[in-house]
Structure 1
């Protein structure tokens, strides 16, 4: 097949592949990672804050004690000892979980993919916040689902909007397969579903028989005394829970989990075995030892203190450098701020100019399935230093001010 081009394969692709596209974030990586660019675009945890001397000792013990076993296959559901340790971690959040009901995955992203394989047929409706996590959109897009966005405000998902969407579907003789939600320190908006609304959302879901997929990667990265209890801690029936160690330990280990009722768990296991056979034993053993042998809660506090300082640096810089008409969220945890541009500006159209001024962000369009979000952008504060954040926002404020002046000049010329 020498001399073929990419187009030569078009007729061979599965139908689901034709709608797949690179995410807004990954498309930025090659440019945003240049050293002269201040990147407020990524969502990387600051792994340089990990205690590498202690980790070196831990990995040395791991290899000495269980090296051969850790380089072998393992059960498809994951190491039962790690599942027990994760159940203990979940208990700290108020979730009562049995290790038997946990399925370990290669990151929460794979958990999403497994759930999509289990529940979604082409054309099925998924309800999700608007905006929502870009990785979830990629999974739902690959499953050929129809994503319907629900409105949010500073208190998170609006219950009346959920009920209206469900009532409308009911009158059409249709139903949503599930609600996908990131209720705590949401990616990308940085907002948190209020206590009152959590109960309202669960009541509405129960009334309509709506399954809820709760994605909870950020709740331990809290800048408040205590984060709100997860939805799964309030209601066991009807809520499937996704978690990960990416934000409390290391994203590169690719270790996550799905907490699901037995019937769903069994289907997920079939999907695991069909896709990867089993999760990696080495990263499971490393995670188990981190959670049982090291001061992991203290490490979470290290991350939290660092991210709060950087959050404050970002909010302070936004106040100092953003032009009138710009607004943003104030996250109480997590890694992201959602910025609303002055009227008439387009974050995606503005990005090339921002990159030329050596600052990167993610346009809001990446977090919607329908092309919405042009008036918004996501800013990350977990990875760049406070000084880099301040300089990046200064550059970004200049770009937005210039874009607004150009818009105003164009508007005046056309009147």
Structure 2
């Protein structure tokens, strides 16, 4: 097929491919990585906070002294050594042996993203419904879209997922004759909002899902990055049946190694391993050995404290700059951990439409529409504080505030009204997030 064009392949795509689109974050990477742009867009951890000399020496020794095993094929479930270390990490959050946390039921994945994809492959048929917080992680939306599932959002407020909204949504889906397979939730320092599901609501959400026969997929990349005291215990620490716990070392060690995991109900473990083998054959033995060695030979608990202090300082810098510089009627969340703040713009402003002007002003963020499956979020943006230093964060907010003021001035001059269809499909209540 010499000189083929895109049209030559369109009719050959599988059905599940046809609705695929680039995420809002991916589309920003090319411009956000320019040195003159202050990027508040991505969710990159501050790797420079690691003891890189020691990590480099460790990696060199793995290759030179253990290369015959670490550079070889492995097994689909992941090495026992790493799975045992993962159980030690989960125990810090309260997911221990009493909760059914066993190396036997841990499946190592290529980052948290592959963990999500494996769960989707196991449980989602085309047309199935996934319930998810609105807004939710953009990478999860891509996975569910590829599985040809429909995402139905459940309202949040400053205390996380609203239990009454969850009950109403479950009932609404059932009345429509559709089948909801699971609730996907990031209950702790949520991406993109930064909010945390309250202690009291965690039990209620689990009770609602249990009564409805709904599985729970708990995504917890940020739970050990709290700034102001310990986070509430994960959902998986409270119920072992029907709860899949997903996490990753991307935020607490190094995303470039691409190592995550699933703690699954025992009855599902074998299916996950089979699906993992079909997809990647086996996770990287070298990456697994690197993480396991890091956890067994280096002060990783102290490193978590370093990350927390760095991110607390940068969170404070972002909140201070927003308070000092943003136009009136702009609101935002105030996270107690994680990497993100969720901002709501003054009435009528469209975060996606503003992007060209923002890039021209050398500042980047992620428009809110990328975190919804239903077109909501036009008046929102996600701001990341983990990567830029505090002085760059403040400069980025200064530039962003100027863009908002220019947009508001243009609307006043040209008499533009509010955004048509602003935030469709959302349900009340949404204080702090709407």
TM-score range, shorter chain: over 0.9
Matched residue, 1:167: 171
Alignment root-mean-square deviation, CA: 1.3
TM-score of the two chains, using structure 2 as the length reference: 0.94
Give the match's secondary structure for 2:207: helix
1:34 has 2:34 as partner: yes
Give the match's secondary structure for 1:246: coil
Matched residue, 2:302: 298
Per-residue deviation, 1:16: 0.5
The 8 Å contact of residues 241 and 260 in structure 1, kept in 2 or not, is answered as yes
**Aligned match for 1:375, one of 361, 379, 388:** 379
Matched residue, 1:47: 47
Q: Can you list the C-alpha shifts for 1:332-389, whole angstroms capped at 9, x where unaligned?
A: 0000000000000100001110110100000000000111100100000000110110
Matched residue, 2:79: 79
What is the alpha-carbon distance in structure 2 between the residues aligned to residue 333 and residue 413 of structure 1? 36
Per-residue deviation, 1:189: 0.5
What is the alpha-carbon distance in structure 2 between the residues aligned to residue 55 and residue 124 of structure 1? 44
Matched residue, 1:91: 91
Per-residue deviation, 1:413: 11
What is the alpha-carbon distance in structure 1 between the residues aligned to residue 67 and residue 417 of structure 2? 72
**Aligned match for 2:350, one of 343, 346, 353:** 346
Matched residue, 1:119: 123
Moved more, 15-24 or 169-178: 169-178
Matched residue, 1:358: 362
Per-residue deviation, 1:274: 0.8
Moved more, 185-194 or 163-172: 163-172
Matched residue, 1:109: 113
Give the match's secondary structure for 2:252: helix
Per-residue deviation, 1:84: 0.6
The structure whose residues are more often helix, as a share, is 1
List gaps (5 residues or longer) in structure 1.
Answer: none
Matched residue, 1:24: 24
Matched residue, 2:313: 309
Give the match's secondary structure for 2:354: helix
What is the alpha-carbon distance in structure 1 between the residues aligned to residue 29 and residue 348 of structure 2? 27
Q: Can you list the C-alpha shifts for 1:105-137, whole angstroms capped at 9, x where unaligned?
A: 000100000111100011100000000000000
What is the alpha-carbon distance in structure 1 between the residues aligned to residue 159 and residue 237 of structure 2? 19
The 8 Å contact of residues 128 and 178 in structure 2, kept in 1 or not, is answered as no
The 8 Å contact of residues 103 and 265 in structure 1, kept in 2 or not, is answered as yes
**Aligned match for 2:140, one of 121, 126, 136:** 136
Per-residue deviation, 1:263: 2.4
What is the alpha-carbon distance in structure 2 between the residues aligned to residue 352 and residue 22 of structure 1? 17
What is the alpha-carbon distance in structure 2 between the residues aligned to residue 100 and residue 163 of structure 1? 34
Count of residue pairs brought into register by the alignment? 414
**Aligned match for 1:273, one of 274, 277, 291:** 277
Give the match's secondary structure for 1:243: strand
1:408 has 2:404 as partner: no
